[in-house]
Chains A and B, each alone.
Chain A
């Protein structure tokens, strides 16, 4: 069986404690993943400063060129996998096998990660707003006639990662050219992508010491969050609750991303259906940047009905089907319990499901949830502003003056409006993390714009500096 080891500052370690992750279709173990005990992580992290020194000896420019090389290796080359090898096709099949994401979508995610690595200079430009990265090598510099100095606030970036979509791993990648070692805790079903990215970097010439990879349980994850000077934590509810007031831990919870349409007398909503469908359903609707709400000021019911008709065309397909667009559930019980939860909420007045037929579908040995559209005439209804990891969307109608306040925290908001007052409110609210004005799908990322927090600002602080 394939084995994925722990990486202790780049050094492979086989644990006596392993978890076997099954192929979701056959139920047979597909991979055995070594699990790090909490104390091992703690012990390694005592020396993380040394790994930072090793990484810091490389210039940012050199690390950027390594990133670009890693981009090609990650997407096109056969890479080491604990004494064996893994081709890109193997990788795609393996990710699909344990997570249930269709192979076609896994491949799209592979290209997304390649894109981030390939365009890392543009990404870094976006994060640093054009800082000359030599400043990170020397600690200070002069740009546009001004003296600048940045201090790194941590010896490592911890990342407690999810299993929902491989593309999410592009978020921590810039840490390497920013000269900060990584301490990665993969999701249970998705050790593949962080391990392969690390291998691509190492083969490309990055110091192996910069990559620590600890599949572990919640106590190990806690250890990472306690000990790393800066971390990112993916999850919701009780997972993130203890950390919400800890600024050194950047929380990536539910996105509740939304499309907002407010057009006064016009009636153009049908033109936006393609954009809405893409925002809701692209990548299997699994990402936090997928829209889970469409908030409008008029025609709500009609929009919801049209959307239901369009999303109903996306049917579950076998995971190796080239047009498969919905992910299967690694844990069928979760699919059933989410479906039951939706049914339970539908019993409360104020919401109507507009999609028809069975929500839970068994196909080719896998369990799927079909796209679901809920029309909410009450913005306070529990289904109005909720996110699930499948194409699920609540359509809500509210007066424009109440819209921003009612929609609450929103990772990505795409607003289609020319109303100056609404635009002003949207620009002013701190509740929206990324704002798109105009017909831009919520899932469309611009390389040169910070996405889900700014990693550079998470890792570095500008300080006053004078040179006499």
Chain B
């Protein structure tokens, strides 16, 4: 199938998926209290009016304040009321953290992502080290599930990124260094004691810190799934050329609200640009004009990230993220829009301490 046709097919499946998700969330039998109450204040029935992705406009923009504070059960779809519920929080670097409930979404997202990992880099049956933020974050359980899904066991190290942010904010360099060393030394213990750990999840900074202490190929690491904070092309190049040459290095972009985006397979022609594709049709990213979010930017142009999450557990239409990126063309593996060089919005870059772990 040629790319144009794949794009058309993907769009069709998205529209069908939107109809299904709208029906689910706005039905009194299956929907969550939040969206059912929301619908009561509308002068139309979303199930009738919304026939595809483009029609989501009639719901406006999802507001992040809705996710701050409780009651968190208002987000639980009635159909899942008796299921075990998880709650995950976002970074917490901007006041009261946003929280999102989950049941199996994080399993599904990571199972889909697992299909993009190579067997050479992430051998089935090999164990993992998860060296990243723990606590009320999705990543901790998600990476563990990824390991289990691929037949491995996941080792962990405690890491509190909010404390790290505090140390950075107040310039406590020595404490920051001590905490980093504390975390890294635990990781080294795992790597030295457990020979079957061949896969690693970590953040860019922890990867750098780890590489100062140990040769990852020598201890048997074959694949690194790196994420948690923004990465730029220069870091990507530095990682591949100098930090972990020869290791399968997979940058990723994920967050509690979206799920996990896959990275475009490495191509030297991209000059290390990091291009992500969201997990269509479960999540859609559009890049919009920051001054006018109704206007999509052209390919190659910079826009603000507008995220729509469309799963049976969580519906979040047209949420304006605090990130910006360049709009990337669809590719055969991912025949929908991608984002290139994702980063914090320029206007926020001086004011926020972001993911310093």
The A/B interface has a contact count, at CB < 8 Å, of 43
Interface residues of A, dominant DSSP: helix
Minimum Cβ distance to chain A for residue B263 (Å) = 16
Of A16, A43, A226, A243, the residue contacting B234 (CB under 8 A) is A16
Any chain B CB within 8 A of the CB of A464? Answer: no
> In the bound complex, what is the Cα–Cα distance between A254 and B212 (angstroms)?
36
Tally B residues with Cβ within 8 Å of A.
Answer: 20
* Bound form: Cα–Cα A15–B235 in Å: 10
Contact A42/B212 with A16-B272, A226-B173 known, Cβ cut-off 8 Å? yes
Q: Which residues of B contact A17 (CB under 8 A)?
A: 232-234
Chain B binding surface, main DSSP class: helix
**How far is the CB of B321 from the nearest CB of chain A, in Å?**
22
- A78 nearest CB across to chain B (Å): 31
Please state if A35 and B234 are interface contacts (CB–CB under 8 Å).
Answer: yes
Given the known interface contacts A16-B272, A226-B173, the answer about A39 and B208 at a Cβ–Cβ threshold of 8 Å is: yes
Known: A241-B171, A242-B173. A37 touches B234 (CB 8 A): yes
- Supposing A16-B234, A17-B234 touch, asked if A39 and B205 sit within 8 A by C-beta, the answer is yes
Q: Is the CB of B173 within 8 A of A222?
A: yes
1/0 per position for A241-255, CB-CB distance to B under 8 A? 111000000000000
The answer to whether B278 has its CB under 8 Å from any CB of chain A is no
Q: How far is the CB of B357 from chain A (nearest CB, A)?
A: 13
Q: A151 interface residue, CB < 8 Å from B? A: no
B172: interface (CB < 8 Å): yes
Stretch in B84-92, B95-103, B237-245 with 4+ CB within 8 Å of A: B237-245
> What is the 8 Å Cβ interface bit string for chain A, positions 34-77, against chain B (1 contact, 0 not)?
01011110110010000000000000000000000000000000
Q: Mark B39-51, 1 if CB is under 8 A from A, else 0.
A: 0000000000000
Distance A15 CA – B171 CA, assembled complex (angstroms): 27
> What 0/1 readout, one digit per residue, does chain A (8-26) give for beta carbons within 8 Å of chain B?
0000000111000000000
> Cα distance A37–B204 when bound, in Å?
11
Task: For the complex, give the distance between the alpha carbons of A43 and B205 in Å.
Answer: 12
- A46, closest chain B residue (CB): B212
B55 within 8 A of A: no
- Flag if B177 contacts A43 (CB, 8 Å): no
**Contact between A43 and B233 (Cβ–Cβ < 8 Å)?**
no
- Check B173 against A16 for contact (C-beta < 8 Å): no
Instruction: Report chain B residues within 8 Å CB of A42.
Output: 208, 212
Q: Interface residues, chain B, CB within 8 Å of chain A? A: 170-173, 177, 204-205, 208, 211-212, 232-235, 237-238, 242-243, 271-272
Chain A to chain B contacts (Cβ below 8 Å), 9 pairs: A16-B232, A17-B232, A35-B234, A38-B205, A39-B208, A42-B212, A43-B212, A46-B212, A225-B173
Hey, which bits of chain A sit against chain B, CB under 8 A? 15-17, 35, 37-40, 42-43, 46, 222, 225-226, 241-243
